[in-house]
Structure 1
């Protein structure tokens, strides 16, 4: 059987952990669990030895010509969201996509994928800390920040460090079936598929306000009483504004509607209570202003991709 050629891009100051993930998944003989043979190549367009982010160096086995006939090309990370890849690497990624290779960007590797143009018109993801900047830099791609990985044609990208493992397991599942992926997950002591996406990890700080006028005092009052009902008319009246004026000012200050913001703050409060207390979900639902456990579960799952009970298991102190 002809081996599947998996080429992984290395570069100066790479994180050894990022590089190790595809090497772990595709670099060992897994024929006993039904996986085909893979030829793993570590490729670099930079002269070696390469430095890493820790006290060690490495020498790539191939230059960028090792991407020329690869079935899967993986960029396991990248140095910075604002740094573009070399013209040679970009050209190799474009050529790979053109011949039908699977192009994979893990974590910040999505930057190289987007900058090369191979993801134009595609949905991609990256670590949530860099999603907004990636969207600003490359408007031809659609950045989805709340998933662990996303597939768009023959372009696959993943979120932060641990999500690279989820993504590589997805590739195994896509190419060789669920049973092989499940067997490999057992070998690696991993869940075959994690619940939810990276939305549950995204920090949602309250927007800073520097004014102390009636509008700001009203927002503070709502935050202090999230367990109470708050409709747009009553809140606008509290601020001494018409509904239209309040809506316009709120949108300008927060970039969303009052209703959206209120749900976001209630979900954030529920997250805090689930993490730091052992109170029943029913009590948390009422304190956060959802009115019922059903409403809490619906809004929680819609925004974070997991149920409140699953979230508590993962994050409770």
Structure 2
């Protein structure tokens, strides 16, 4: 599995800094510009009463700053808790942030650093990772965020080891998740660590979710647009290959179609397209397979033939390597009904 940096512990009640007879306190940070969905994830997972369990979490919303808390969608949130409450928290959740470049109040940074120092766990959902990074707590650690922000995070905080593929990462007391719904995966992981796999599975069923998802976020990342087309013959070759992907396209055939030698063709293709011809061909075959899986019910046994893979084994291997999940799982999640 590629969703987590560590395998989840199955030990129940493994909760940092808590009296065994007292429900652990989870605090969600609220701020002006609050990301409503990410905040809702924290509330649904940790604030909802669950009388079917002998023990559960206490929950508190904590204001990151003074002033109104306006949330996405025209909602205003009223929170009476202040940063001092974080001194009692077992888990602190930062549900998004108002922008990758938006400054983080120093008082919030200080409170998070102090909580971390005394053993509290700190988790971010999506862009909330930029709050954790601003505290310095991600220095030297692995972290992730929404695929749209991973490059920005790596550029802005080069001392953080950014993994752009996984759904979430646990590194010591720090937890980070990929975009939006990956916060659910992270939350279930934390519940699993605290109360065990059975209770986490029960919560997942209530949410109509799998208890644990396979793969990472790579399968959801849009394919990059090709470089600008130039009148060199290579662009025409690419169109020809795309229209006949079910055929074999070795380098020699591509070079002949582009009216050049194999060595010259490989060099020019790399200069103009940015990848080698064979790597480009693999990505085109996988992309075509993904389109077929998303938009049709063609049997898998026919998909690899239509896309020009040499065998079903090659198809499954290359598809999983590129998309992060096997073809059958990809169709289950993203395919047409």
Determine if the TM-score, normalized by the shorter chain, exceeds 0.5: yes
Q: Is the 8 A contact 2:227 2:273 kept in 1?
A: no
- Kindly report which structure 2 residues correspond to 1:114-263, keeping only aligned pairs within 5 A, or say none: 114-236=133-255, 238-239=257-258, 246-263=265-282
Cα distance in 2, alignment partners of residues 279 and 304 from structure 1? 19
Does residue 26 in structure 1 map to residue 46 in structure 2? Answer: yes
User: How big is each residue's C-alpha offset from its partner over 1:195-225, in whole Å with a ceiling of 9 and x where there is no partner?
Assistant: 3222221111441423111333333333333
Does residue 16 in structure 1 map to residue 36 in structure 2? Answer: yes
User: How big is each residue's C-alpha offset from its partner over 1:45-64, in whole Å with a ceiling of 9 and x where there is no partner?
Assistant: 32233111122211223122
- Kindly report which structure 2 residues correspond to 1:30-69, keeping only aligned pairs within 5 A, or say none: 30=50, 32-34=52-54, 36-69=55-88
Q: Which has the higher contact order (CA 8 A, sep 6+)?
A: 2
User: How big is each residue's C-alpha offset from its partner over 1:85-128, in whole Å with a ceiling of 9 and x where there is no partner?
Assistant: 22222222223333222121101111212232211222222112
User: How big is each residue's C-alpha offset from its partner over 1:207-259, in whole Å with a ceiling of 9 and x where there is no partner?
Assistant: 14231113333333333332233334543454455655555544444444433
- SS of the aligned residue for 1:160 comes to coil
- The runs of 5 or more residues in structure 1 that have no matched partner are none
Cα distance in 1, alignment partners of residues 63 and 330 from structure 2? 40
Offset at residue 266 of structure 1 (A): 1.3
Offset at residue 78 of structure 1 (A): 1.0
- Cα gap change, 1:253 to 1:129, in 2 (>3 Å): farther
Q: Is the 8 A contact 1:8 1:42 kept in 2?
A: yes
Q: What's the TM-score, normalizing by structure 2?
A: 0.85
Cα distance in 2, alignment partners of residues 153 and 260 from structure 1? 37
- SS of the aligned residue for 2:58 comes to strand
User: How big is each residue's C-alpha offset from its partner over 1:251-292, in whole Å with a ceiling of 9 and x where there is no partner?
Assistant: 444444433332222111101011112222122101212122
Does residue 295 in structure 1 map to residue 330 in structure 2? Answer: no
- Cα gap change, 1:104 to 1:212, in 2 (>3 Å): same
Offset at residue 302 of structure 1 (A): 2.2
- Cα gap change, 1:68 to 1:277, in 2 (>3 Å): same
- SS of the aligned residue for 2:89 comes to coil
Cα distance in 1, alignment partners of residues 224 and 22 from structure 2? 51
Cα distance in 2, alignment partners of residues 257 and 88 from structure 1? 50
Q: What's the TM-score, normalizing by structure 1?
A: 0.90
- Cα gap change, 1:11 to 1:254, in 2 (>3 Å): farther
- Kindly report which structure 2 residues correspond to 1:245-284, keeping only aligned pairs within 5 A, or say none: 246-284=265-303
Q: Kindly report the root-mean-square deviation, in angstroms, between the aligned alpha carbons of the 2 structures.
A: 2.3
